[in-house]
Chain A
């Protein structure tokens, strides 16, 4: 029996590069809302902006096919980082480099209009996500089938249940395999059966080389699904590396009692 060492070519190919990224928000010490007030204070030299650094000099690389976790307390800068990968925010300094298209699952059902039908909303939502009319036409039937809404597709979605809306949103956002999928916290998409279907799709895409970015403060979930983890604390990269190393250290900093029991695993960890 011979063991082939070179079964697959597992070249390491970076898809996301975060290089010395900092992001500064200007938070006015006092809210100045009117122009008059602004003008008066400007003259008096009393405009003081408090600087708030949501991220400070963060660097790491995510490689193709990885399930990459970002862990940290609330306000550590996790969501800010995701928004930069999703192009929503640009860094104040440093560089964000992303290869491939990004599907943010934080936007499931973005811009759905209650008075429009399911059909109309598929097109509206799809174009909001950056697809063209033609692309959506091509995958329309598949979206409807996956969301299991064949009988309701021409009814206004104000008549849908929240589960049905979530199903439709997920179906539109993930119909074609993105290169990078961004998942923020829990994936709440309808009932258990449908949720299983969503995970199956995600795992399928992962097997085809999709990179996943998962943000959570649930360390157990990270441990189950992630290959690599970045730990953010107050906007700084505290630790970066293999899942067990990072999570073990992270857990030590959490006071006992605040840890939540883990839910079901997100998706199974795949071996490279």
Chain B
């Protein structure tokens, strides 16, 4: 095994190769995040399912009167909520891991992207667990289920790519301007309301829909609802559009991040 600092391959490719080499670490980081989160609570991992359920119940009670015309409103809210929570948690965790994991990065060589990928992995496990109560709610309020639900892994894939890309971009910027990490929390709140999660999308005026179409999360949330709310199969257009958005975000994030990985140590 020879290491030569002067032989610098393309940093983006080098980062992919090294992240793959550390795949067992990624698995252990995911395990750690999931098992330690609720280690001392009685219900443990059940909270992953109860949390979104609780928020959904509150939202349903609060907004039912405003948006009650939306059929199966609780399923509508919950499906949107789970999607956005995934995005919120993943991007925040990536920023946190990369900026505050500094101590570890200072001491030993670890491909830094492993911490970002692990955050996505944790969120995927959490989302899949949270789908259990979503299905239960659907059964309880007798919202129809169809075979078209099976497309959801594709949507999760898109969602994961987009979230990873955004997380890497913001984390890299936050390296230079710590304020961005703080500002991002505010941006997320705005982003939440700029995404059709609690208000019904279908009855919005065309002009508002047009405006919302510039928000990638609108498309991703609506795709997810194809499976869990609308019972639609995705159209080719939708699939290509979101695939494009996600992959561009991910590629930009990865290139930006891997070109700056050295900086995560030098600060």
Contact = CB atoms under 8 A, between A and B. Distances in A.
Given A89-B266, A95-B5, A100-B1, A33 B107 contact: no
A101 interface: yes
B108 A88 contact: yes
Contacts of A111: 104
A33 B182 CA distance: 12
A90 B5 contact: yes
B22 interface: yes
Nearest to A26: B266
Contacts of A34: 177, 179
B110 A128 contact: yes
A88 B265 contact: yes
A34 B174 CA distance: 10
Given A38-B177, A115-B40, A127-B25, A110 B4 contact: no
A42 B8 CA distance: 31
B28 A127 contact: yes
B262 interface: yes
A95 B177 contact: no
A179 to B, nearest CB: 8
Nearest to B18: A130
Nearest to B262: A90
Contacts of B29: 124
B109 A88 contact: yes
B107 A96 contact: no
Contacts, number: 97
A98 B3 contact: yes
Interface string A33-52: 11100100000000000000
A86 B108 contact: yes
Given A97-B3, A98-B2, A100-B1, A106 B107 contact: yes
B107 A132 contact: no
A91 interface: yes
B32 interface: yes
A123 B28 contact: yes
A104 B107 contact: yes
B188 to A, nearest CB: 17
B1 A88 contact: no
A87 interface: yes
Contacts of A123: 28
B32 A113 contact: yes
B260 interface: no
B15 to A, nearest CB: 13
B178 interface: yes
Contact of B22 (A97, A106, A110, A127): A127
Contacts of B36: 113, 115-116
B24 A127 contact: yes
6 contacts: A83-B265, A101-B1, A113-B32, A128-B25, A131-B24, A133-B27
Interface of B: 1-6, 8, 21-22, 24-25, 27-29, 31-32, 35-36, 39-40, 104-110, 176-180, 262, 265-266
Given A96-B4, A124-B28, A127-B25, 15 more contacts: A33-B178, A33-B179, A34-B177, A35-B179, A89-B265, A90-B8, A90-B262, A97-B4, A98-B4, A113-B36, A115-B39, A116-B32, A124-B29, A128-B25, A129-B108
